[in-house]
Amino acid sequence: MPAQSSHPVAAVLRGFARYALVAAFAGVFAIFAAIAPSFLSGANLLSVLVNNFTLLAIVAIAMTFAVSAGGIDLSVGTAIDFSSFAFVSLVLAGQPVPLAILGGLAGGILVGLFNALLISGIGISPFLATLGTLFVGRSAQQLLTNGGNPVYLPPSGIPEAFRLLGHGTIAGVPAPLVIAFGIIVVAWLILARTRFGRVNLATGIQASVVRYSGLALPRYTAATYVLVSLIAAVAGLIVTSTVTVYIPSSGNAFLLNAIGATFIGTTLDPNGRPNIPGTVLGVLLLSIVANGLLLSGLNFYWQQVATGLLIFTVLAIGFANRKAGARA
């Protein structure tokens, strides 16, 4: 085994690359603070958290569980949509809000169960299984909505309790942010500190060892994909409460950024493992970049290019570093 190179410059570079994500975050933060004075204002930072951060954070955390188990879930958007659709339909049918919320969560879980059947039952690779679910789900939504028409909640009929989910505050903090924070903490505990989280990680690293260790691999895998869709379903309910409408196949908007944030987050871990703090930092980075670019007055379309370049750079440094680490 070649020992690690002990050259001090190499060591410094490696240390820097390991924290590429933190450095990128700090750098971006400083630049925006310098060029857009309103960026640092409390109101703006809160708006970043509420408008850019919350929903993506929830979806990215869902994705983190799938990626940690060595898979991916391309159908998180479908779970969001099904949750939203089930909720809106139940409210329109005159059901009480708590029941509609449960219905919404169940709608999302349905997607997860379907994935679990395909991945854990039949043994299809997660990418292909959830890609299939995405397509079938899109078609199903179009059939359910007469070709893809949005379903509105009647302005008068929206129960106050539900509006709170998207618009209310808890102890002065916007409710969606509180929910997202709660999910972050619980997800972090589950992934880093529970038996389920450890097995989930081990599955992603070497599934056959999990099986040979006497752990019920299919059950863990199934639970992972159900959990992913359950978390995504919560995002679906918050979206619906915020915009009071269900738009077919709209949940996919989060997909690519959620994958991006999750993998950006893996650069934070020395072994490149998916992790909740990394994912959250990844989402924060994407969020402040979106907000800061908006404030900077840069052409709206250039903003997307800049965001893409930033993600690309963080990934490149993170992966190049891991490659160097593997070689050393």
| Binding region for other proteins (CB under 8 A) out of 25-33, 100-108, 118-126, 222-230 | 118-126
CB burial readout 121-132, b (16+ within 10 A) else e: eeebebeebbeb
> Exposure of 194 by Cβ count < 10 A (0-12 exposed, 13-18 middle, 19+ buried)?
exposed
The answer to whether residue 189 forms part of the interface with other proteins (CB under 8 A) is: yes
The answer to whether residue 171 forms part of the interface with other proteins (CB under 8 A) is: no
The answer to whether residue 166 forms part of the interface with other proteins (CB under 8 A) is: no
Contact at 8 Å (CB) between 197 and 191? yes
Q: Scan for tokens 């909505």, then name that residue.
A: 145
The encoded tokens of residue 265 equal 């987050």
| Binding region for other proteins (CB under 8 A) out of 27-35, 96-104, 115-123, 169-177 | 115-123
Amino acid letter, residue 130: T
Residues in 246-275 at the binding interface with other proteins, rule: CB under 8 A? 256, 259-260, 263, 271
The answer to whether residue 113 forms part of the interface with other proteins (CB under 8 A) is: no
C-alpha–C-alpha distance, residues 129 and 177, integer Å: 32
Q: Which of 22, 23, 102, 131 binds other proteins (CB under 8 A)?
A: 131
The answer to whether residue 315 forms part of the interface with other proteins (CB under 8 A) is: yes
The answer to whether residue 187 forms part of the interface with other proteins (CB under 8 A) is: no
Q: Which of 96, 182, 186, 312 binds other proteins (CB under 8 A)?
A: 312
> Which residues, 6 or more positions from 133, have their beta carbon under 8 angstroms from its beta carbon?
74, 75, 78, 111, 114, 115, 118
Note the maximum CA span of the chain. 70
C-alpha–C-alpha distance, residues 99 and 234, integer Å: 14
Of 129 and 184, nearer to other proteins (C-beta) is 129
Residues in 9-68 at the binding interface with other proteins, rule: CB under 8 A? none
Question: Cβ of residue 50: shortest distance to other proteins, in angstroms?
Answer: 23
C-alpha–C-alpha distance, residues 238 and 133, integer Å: 22
Beta strands in 73-164 (DSSP E): 151-152
Question: Cβ of residue 182: shortest distance to other proteins, in angstroms?
Answer: 17
77 to 106: interface string for other proteins, x by CB under 8 A: ------------------------------
Question: Cβ of residue 231: shortest distance to other proteins, in angstroms?
Answer: 18
Of 172 and 327, nearer to other proteins (C-beta) is 327
The encoded tokens of residue 279 equal 């994912």
The answer to whether residue 182 forms part of the interface with other proteins (CB under 8 A) is: no
Contact at 8 Å (CB) between 115 and 230? no
Question: Cβ of residue 126: shortest distance to other proteins, in angstroms?
Answer: 8
The answer to whether residue 177 forms part of the interface with other proteins (CB under 8 A) is: no
